[in-house]
Structure 1
Amino acid sequence: MADYGHELLFGTFLTPVADRADRVVELARLTDQAGLDLVTVQDHPYQARFLDTWTLLSVVAAVTSTVRVSPNVTNLPLRPPAVLARSVATLDLLSGGRVELGLGAGAFRDGIAALGGPRLTAAQGVDALEEGIQVIRAMWAEEGGTVRVDGRHHRVWGAHAGPAPAHDVGIWLGAYKKRMLDMTGRLADGWLPSNAYAALDELPAMNAIIDEAALGAGRSPADVRRLYNIAGTFTGSGGSFLRGPAGVWVEQLAELTLEQGMSAYILASDDPDDIRRFAAEVVPGVRELVEAERAAVDLPRAAEVSTRDDVRSASPATGTATSTAAVAPARIRGGNPALGVTPTPDDGVRLSDVRVWDETARPTGPAPDPDRTYTPGEQATGRHLIDVHDQLRQELAEIRRLIEEVTAGAMDPGVARSHINTMTMRQNNWTIGVYCESYCRIVTTHHTIEDQSLFPHLRRADPRLKPVVDRLEQEHHVIHEVLEGVDRALVAFVSEPEGHKALRAAMDLLTDSLLSHLSYEERELVEPLARLGAH
C-alpha cells in the first residue's frame, strides 16, 4: 500500500460509563489538555450502563477548547438520519467546527429492536446506511432547499435542509465486510476500524477494496482518511503490536502510516496515565518519524528517477566512468503498463574498475503475462519496492556528499561514520533484503523476519523465481561487504597517505554495486510482488 499523505491525528476512545460520568468528562479534559486531537465515545443506546452519546459529546465540547469530538460509531438504526444531521450540525456550530461523524450500520439487533428500532438483516443495514448518508449530506446543504430521498429504509420527502455545519464534517464509516468497505471507498470521508476486528495482516486487503471502490467512483483513494482504534500496553518486549515501551509504539504506528496509509490513531483506554504517556511519548515520536520520511521522499517522480545521475556525479570518480550497456537487459521486465509502475533501468555506467559480481550471469524470472491486469492494491505492492529503493538512492547520494566533505577536510571521518551508521542502508540486514526489512515487518505484526520473510514466500508462491531469489540473496551479502569496505576506508583515511583515493574508490564501488543491484531487483520482482503479494 502507500502513505496517503494525510495529516496525523491522535485521540482517545473513552467508555461512557454512567456511574462514573464525571470521570469520563475529566478524561476528555485530559485529552484536550494533553494536546491530542480527538475525543470519541461508542454509541450503544440500548446499553443501560452507558451515557447517551450525543448528550455526552455536547458536554465534552463545552468543557474543552481544541479537541474534535465524534461518536465511534453512531448506531444509525436508532438515530434517524435527518434528525442526526441536525444534531451534528448544531453541535458543530456551537463548538466552532469541532465535530466529526463516525457512522455504523448497527450491530446488536436484539438491543436495537428492544428500543423500538428496526430489526434489519446485515444486508438491509448496509442499504439503510447508504440511504442515511444521502439524507445526512442533503440536510447539510449550504444552499438550503428541500430534501427528497425516497429510500426503502429512510424516506425524507419535503424536509428543509439546514442548518449547515460550521465546517465540512467528515463521515467516517466503521466497516469490515466487502460491501461496507466498498461503500467507504465510494461515499465516505474516512474509514474507522478497530484493531480488535481489523488486524494488521488484514489491513492491506481491506485498504485495497476501499481504493478500488474509490477509483471506480471517480475518486482518489486519498479522499478517504484511514483511522484506527488501537489498544495496547507499555509493558512487554515489543514482540507483539503495541506491547512494549513507547519507542515500540512510535516505530509501529509510524510504519502503519508510511506503509498502510493509516493516519489517525485513537487510543482505547480509560487510564489517565496511558493517555498522558501516549500524548507525551508516542505522539511526538510518530509525528517526527513520519515527517522525516515524508520529507525524504517528497520529490517529483522525475527527480527521483534522475537520482542515479545525482549519485554518480556527487564526487569525482577515481577513474574514467565506463559503460556496461552491452550487458544491461534489452528490455525492462515488469514494465507492463497494467502494473502502473516501471522498474528503474540500469544506465550501464560504472565508476570503478572492480567488479564484485558477473552481471551477465544474473538469472531472469518468468516473463510477465502481457494480458494480465492488476488491482490498485496489487499495483501499490509493486510500487512499494521502488519507493523503498528510491529512499536508498537518496541515502547513497547523501553518503557521497559526506565522503566528499571528509576528503575536502570539512568533516571529521568519525562524524561521517556516525551519520552513515544511522541511515537505513547501514541498519538494514542485507542478508534478508531491504524490502522485507521495511515492508514485511509491519504486515507480519513484528513476527521474526526469518519466519515471515519475503524471499521464502516468493520461492513457495512461484518456484520459477528461485534462481532469481537465490542470486539476489547472494548479492545482499556482497553489498554488506562493500558497505563494510566504505567504513574501513573511513577509518584508514586519517592514517594512510593515499587514504583519500581508497575512500573514493570504496565509495565508487558501493555506488556501482548498489545501483546495479537495485535495478536488477526491481526488474525481476516488481511484477511478481504485484502478482503474488508480499506475504
Structure 2
Amino acid sequence: MPDYGLDVEFGIFPSPDAARHHEVLELAQLADVLGLDHVSIQDHPYQAAHLDTWTLLSAIGSRTTQIRLSTNVANLPLRPPVVLAKAAASLDLLTGGRVELGLGAGAFWDGIEAAGGGGKTPKESVDALVEAMTIIRSFWAGERGRLDGEHYSNHGLKPGPRPAHDIPIWLGAYKPRMIRLTGQLADGWVPSMGYADPPALPDLSARLDEAAVAAGRAPQDIRRIYNIFGQFGSGSGLFRGTPKDWAEQLTDLAVGIGMDTFIVGADDPDFVRRFAAEVMPLTRELVAAEREGGSPGVPLETESPAPAEREAVATQDSSSFTAAQLAIPAHLVEVHDYLRSELDQVRDIVRQVREGHTSVGQARSVINTMTMRQNNWTLGAYCESYCRIVTGHHTNEDRGMFPHLLRADPSLEPIVTRLHDEHEVIAGLLDQLDQALVALVGDPGYGSDGQRALDTLSGALDQLTESLLAHLSYEEEALHDPLAIHGFG
C-alpha cells in the first residue's frame, strides 16, 4: 500500500464522562501543552453518562490554544445539519480555526429513536448524510439555501456565521457505499480499532483510493485518521508493549498502509505524558527515516549510561547526540516557546487596552470584544487559562521530571532545587496577576478612571515576564544535556 507522505499527527480520544468532567478538561489542557494535534470526542446524546459533545468541545476550546477540536463522529440523526453547521462555524470562530467535523450516518438506532431521532434504513441514512454534507458546506460558504431534499431542506435559509477556516469533514466509514462516499466527498476517513483492525485497513484504503480517483481527486487529499486503543506494558500484540513497540507499529501503519493521524483512547494523564514524550517523537523519527531510506537514531528505550559514561556524555558537543535524544530537550523548548508566545499575547492585549481607553467601563467593553490569537474570550478568562497552563507545566516538572533526573544523576540537585524554588516564586507572581485581573475585570469601580487598575495589572505582568523568561532560559540551558541523556522519565 502507498505512503501518501502526509505529516504524522497525534491526538487523544477521552471518554466524555460527566462524572469526571474536571478530569476530562484537565486532560485536554495537558494534551494541548504537550503538543498533541487533536482532541476528539464521541457523540452519543442518548448516553446518560456522557456530557454533550458540543458543550464539552466548547469548554475545551476555552481552555486550550493550539490543539484542534473534532467530533468523532457527530450523530447526524440527532443533529440537524443547519444547526450542526452553525455550531461548528461558531466554535471555529471562537477558537481561531481549530474545528474539524467528523460525521456519521448513525448507529445504535434504538438510542437514536428513544431520543427522538426517528429510524432510517441503511440506504436512507447514507442518502441523508449526502444531503447533510451539501447543506453544511453551502452554509459555511455563505450560500443561500436551495436544497429541498428527501431528508433535509434549507430552502431560503440565510446562512451565517462563516467559519474562521475551511472546516474539513471526516466520515466514519466501513461499508462499501460509505467508503465510496468518503473517497468522493470527504476530507478525512476515520475508522476505529475494533471495527476495522489493521488487517482490514489495506483493502478499505484501496477502495477509498479508487473512489477518490474516479471522482477526479488525489488519494492524498484524504487524511486517514485511525482511532487506536492500548496500553504500555511488557506484553505482545498491537499497542500492548513499550513506547518503542508502539512507535514501530504506528510507523508500519503510516508508511505501510497510509494512515497519517492516530487518535489514542486515553483517560490517564500519565499515559498521555508518556505517549507525548516517547511515542510521538520516535514515531516521527522512524517515519522520516523510512521515507528517506535511512535508519533512525538510538531508540528512546535504551538504558541510561553508567555514571562514568554520563559524565563523559554530559560534556560532549550536542551534535554527538542522536536525533531521538535531542528531540527530548527540544520538546521542552517547544513547550517553553508556547509559554513565551502566550505571555507576549497577554502583554499585547494589555497594551491595546491602555492605548486610548481611560475608564474601566470602556476597557471592559474593549476586552470583551477583542479578537485574540486563538480564543474570543475576556482578558480575565484568557489570562486565567494561561496562568493555569504555566502552573500545570511546573507541577508536571516538580512531580515527574525533576525526581526522575535526580534518581538518574544526583549531582543535578543544585539545579533542580533552584528550578523548584523559581517555580514557587512564579506561582506567587501568577497569584498577583490573578488579583490584578480581578481588580480590572471584576470591579468596575476600582479607580475613578481605571488607570490604577491598569497600572497594577501592567506591573504584575512586568514582574511575571522578567522572572518567567529568565527561568525558562536557565532551565533550557541547564537541563539540555541531562534530558538528552536521561529523558523525561
Tell me the TM-score normalised to structure 1 length.
Answer: 0.54
Number of aligned positions between the proteins: 296
Tell me, yes or no, if structure 1 residue 260 matches structure 2 residue 277: no
Partner Cα distance (2:270, 2:147) in 1: 47
Question: What letter matches 1:245 in structure 2?
Answer: T
C-alpha deviations, 1:195-233, integer Å up to 9, x for none? 111011100110011101101111111111001000111
Question: How far is 1:147 from its partner?
Answer: 1.5
Question: How far is 1:32 from its partner?
Answer: 0.8
Runs of 4+ in 1 over 3 A off after TM superposition: none
What is the DSSP-based 3-state SS (H/G/I as helix, E as strand, rest coil) of the residue aligned with 1:32?
helix
Q: Name the CA shift for 1:145/1:171 in 2 (closer, same or farther; >3 Å).
A: closer
Question: How far is 1:121 from its partner?
Answer: 1.4
Partner Cα distance (1:83, 1:32) in 2: 28
Partner Cα distance (2:152, 2:221) in 1: 26
Question: What letter matches 2:80 in structure 1?
Answer: P
Partner Cα distance (2:194, 2:23) in 1: 25
C-alpha deviations, 1:20-47, integer Å up to 9, x for none? 1111111111111111011111100011
What is the DSSP-based 3-state SS (H/G/I as helix, E as strand, rest coil) of the residue aligned with 2:146?
strand
What is the DSSP-based 3-state SS (H/G/I as helix, E as strand, rest coil) of the residue aligned with 2:50?
coil
Partner Cα distance (1:184, 1:290) in 2: 26
Correspondence for 1:231 among 201, 222, 229: 229
Question: How far is 1:101 from its partner?
Answer: 0.4
Paired residue for 1:243? 240
Tell me, yes or no, if structure 1 residue 82 matches structure 2 residue 79: no
Paired residue for 2:33? 33
Paired residue for 1:434? none
Paired residue for 2:413? none
Partner Cα distance (1:183, 1:50) in 2: 29
Larger radius of gyration: 1
Paired residue for 2:177? 179
C-alpha deviations, 1:78-118, integer Å up to 9, x for none? 00001110110110011001110011011111111111112
Question: How far is 1:150 from its partner?
Answer: 2.0
Paired residue for 2:204? 206
Q: Name the CA shift for 1:145/1:134 in 2 (closer, same or farther; >3 Å).
A: closer
Superposition map of 1:143-162 within 5 A:
144-162=142-160
C-alpha deviations, 1:335-371, integer Å up to 9, x for none? xxxxxxxxxxxxxxxxxxxxxxxxxxxxxxxxxxxxx
What is the DSSP-based 3-state SS (H/G/I as helix, E as strand, rest coil) of the residue aligned with 1:24?
helix
Tell me, yes or no, if structure 1 residue 18 matches structure 2 residue 15: no
Question: How far is 1:240 from its partner?
Answer: 1.2
Question: How far is 1:72 from its partner?
Answer: 0.8
Question: What letter matches 2:199 in structure 1?
Answer: D
Partner Cα distance (1:23, 1:90) in 2: 25
Question: What letter matches 1:266 in structure 2?
Answer: I
Partner Cα distance (2:193, 2:116) in 1: 31
Question: How far is 1:286 from its partner?
Answer: 0.7
Point out where structure 1 has 5 or more consecutive residues left out of the alignment: 298-390, 392-535
Partner Cα distance (2:195, 2:2) in 1: 22
Question: How far is 1:156 from its partner?
Answer: 1.3
Partner Cα distance (2:163, 2:234) in 1: 44
Partner Cα distance (2:143, 2:164) in 1: 18
Partner Cα distance (1:182, 1:236) in 2: 40
What is the DSSP-based 3-state SS (H/G/I as helix, E as strand, rest coil) of the residue aligned with 1:213?
helix
Partner Cα distance (1:254, 1:89) in 2: 34
C-alpha deviations, 1:139-171, integer Å up to 9, x for none? 010xx3312122211111111132221111110
| Higher share in helix | 2
Paired residue for 2:286? 289
Correspondence for 1:277 among 274, 279, 291: 274
C-alpha deviations, 1:6-25, integer Å up to 9, x for none? 12110100111111111111
Tell me the TM-score normalised to structure 2 length.
Answer: 0.59
Paired residue for 2:103? 103
Paired residue for 2:124? 124
Question: What letter matches 2:191 in structure 1?
Answer: P
Paired residue for 1:362? none
Paired residue for 1:5? 5
| Identical amino acids, percent of aligned pairs | 56
C-alpha deviations, 1:387-429, integer Å up to 9, x for none? xxxx9xxxxxxxxxxxxxxxxxxxxxxxxxxxxxxxxxxxxxx
Superposition map of 1:53-452 within 5 A:
53-141=53-141, 144-237=142-235, 239-296=236-293
What is the DSSP-based 3-state SS (H/G/I as helix, E as strand, rest coil) of the residue aligned with 2:177?
helix
Question: How far is 1:236 from its partner?
Answer: 2.8
Partner Cα distance (1:145, 1:59) in 2: 29
Partner Cα distance (1:75, 1:126) in 2: 13
Partner Cα distance (2:122, 2:284) in 1: 38
Partner Cα distance (1:147, 1:283) in 2: 43
Question: What letter matches 1:110 in structure 2?
Answer: D
Partner Cα distance (2:72, 2:196) in 1: 15
What is the DSSP-based 3-state SS (H/G/I as helix, E as strand, rest coil) of the residue aligned with 1:236?
coil
Partner Cα distance (2:36, 2:198) in 1: 24
Point out where structure 2 has 5 or more consecutive residues left out of the alignment: 296-489
C-alpha root-mean-square deviation of aligned residues, in Å?
1.5
What is the DSSP-based 3-state SS (H/G/I as helix, E as strand, rest coil) of the residue aligned with 1:146?
coil
Question: What letter matches 2:33 in structure 1?
Answer: Q
